[in-house]
Amino acid sequence: MDDLPEGVSISADKQLLFYQGRHLYVFPVGAVRSINVERMKPAKGAGGSWIEILIDGIEPGMPAKAVVAAEAAGADDLSQIASEIALALGAPLNLKPYSYDC
């Protein structure tokens, strides 16, 4: 695990999704519900964007979990990489409507 790069990775057999940030998360690829991109345009605040990976509960009765996998300064900075992640995982991509950083 020491060699796992920071960010999102997929196992060689495409069965597991790894997210290495402050913590390490490991999920079955089949549990990924969607890749969401929250997008904020500048207003009083600077704006920005972030990618959330929405994961189904691993066991029955467990709630879904959203893992923030990346953050960026611009509202559209992560749209392309989120699209690539969604394609690699076979998960839907949800580019959320713009909101304003109030």
In this predicted structure, the answer to whether residue 1 has a pLDDT above a threshold of 70 is no
Residue 74 near residue 49, CB atoms below 8 Å: yes
Least confident of 4-8, 42-46, 85-89, 93-97: 4-8
Residue 52 lies in a domain: yes
Regarding predicted confidence, which is higher, 37 or 12?
A: 37
Greatest alpha-carbon span in the chain = 46
Residue 13 lies in a domain: no
- Number of domains present in the structure of the chain: 1
Separation of alpha carbons 74 and 41, rounded Å: 8
pLDDT of residue 35: 96
Residue 102 lies in a domain: no
pLDDT (mean) for 28-54: 95
Separation of alpha carbons 81 and 87, rounded Å: 10
